[in-house]
């Protein structure tokens, strides 16, 4: 039985990915900052672990407790919406610590066992905002674009060891907690001169003609994990596929 190790499983994409693999008879290591065992169906194949991807000790403990890992899914992330002029550098660093450095640190911790077994897949969940520039998302986009570049270069390093690295790029997902998680960081990040721009951006958010559902992301992660011929970048969701086609 293969094992998938997933970060950010308390809600949204991570929770759906964990459920998707569990239904397909994989051993699932579902990690979250504050572990909850009531979010997923009870199963002997499910192992819920605490993990803070910004804490090296937490990473080491989670990887040790997980045992052999066949697929690593770096999904944990935090949202951020605001004008660069209004963002404190502490906020910028917080976003990069989780979205970028956390993914790199966890990957470093898992790679030795994959390299030694000459098998494994690293899947990084980023965003289609890296394909099309949008206002008020510059820092968030930068944190995810860095992971794109990291993953594509990583894939070249790992090819000689038969280990794969792939990207899953979701589109806009109003059904997740992205907006709720981003809202506390918005209090001071939109200076008054940017208010008209912000109003226009928020109005555009009401368009739900094309969106991404959590299951779209789970399906894309499954493809990346199980199909050796899967492309490097896999858009997840109707809007994501449309954007990728235009990129």
Q: How far is CA 3 from the centre of its chain?
A: 18
* Cβ 106 vs Cβ 144: under 8 Å: no
Q: Please, which residues have CB within 8 angstroms of residue 1's CB and are 6 or more apart in sequence? A: 25, 26, 27, 45
Which of 5, 13, 140, 194 is flagged as catalytic? 140
- 3-6 and 46-50 as β-strands: parallel, antiparallel, unpaired? unpaired
Helix, coil or strand: residue 72: strand
- Report residue 152 as tokens: 């594509």
Q: Please answer whether residues 25 and 47 qualify as being in contact, where contact means their C-beta atoms are separated by less than 8 angstroms.
A: no
Can you list the alpha helix ranges (DSSP code H) found in the chain? 12-23, 56-66, 89-96, 102-117, 138-158, 178-182, 195-204, 214-226, 238-246
Classify 199 in phi/psi space as left (phi over 0), alpha (psi -120 to 50) or beta. alpha
194 is an active site residue: no
Phi and psi angles of residue 58, each rounded to the nearest 5 degrees, phi first: -60, -40
**What positions carry a catalytic annotation?**
140
């Amino acid at each position: 039985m293969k094992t998938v190790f997933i970060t950010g499983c308390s809600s949204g994409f991570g929770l759906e990915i964990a459920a998707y693999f569990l239904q397909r008879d994989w051993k699932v290591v579902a990690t979250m900052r504050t572990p909850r065992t009531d979010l997923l169906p009870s199963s002997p194949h499910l192992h819920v672990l605490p993990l803070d991807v910004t804490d090296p000790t937490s990473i080491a403990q989670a990887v040790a407790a997980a045992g052999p890992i066949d697929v690593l899914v770096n999904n944990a992330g935090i949202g951020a919406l605001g004008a660069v002029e209004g963002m404190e550098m502490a906020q910028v660093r917080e976003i990069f610590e989780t979205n970028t450095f956390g993914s790199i640190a966890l990957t470093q911790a898992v790679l030795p066992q994959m390299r030694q077994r000459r098998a494994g897949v690293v899947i990084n969940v980023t965003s289609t905002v890296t394909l099309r520039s949008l206002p008020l998302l510059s820092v968030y986009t930068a944190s995810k674009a860095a992971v794109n570049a990291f993953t594509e270069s990583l894939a070249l390093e790992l090819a000689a060891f038969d280990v794969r690295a792939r990207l899953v790029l979701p589109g806009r997902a109003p059904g997740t907690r992205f907006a709720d998680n981003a809202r506390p960081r918005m209090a001071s990040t939109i200076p008054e001169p940017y208010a008209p721009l912000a109003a226009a951006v928020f109005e555009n958010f009401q368009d739900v003609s094309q969106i991404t559902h959590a299951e779209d992301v789970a399906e894309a992660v499954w493809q990346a994990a199980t199909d050796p011929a899967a492309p490097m970048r896999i858009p997840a969701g109707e809007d994501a596929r449309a954007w990728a086609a235009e990129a």
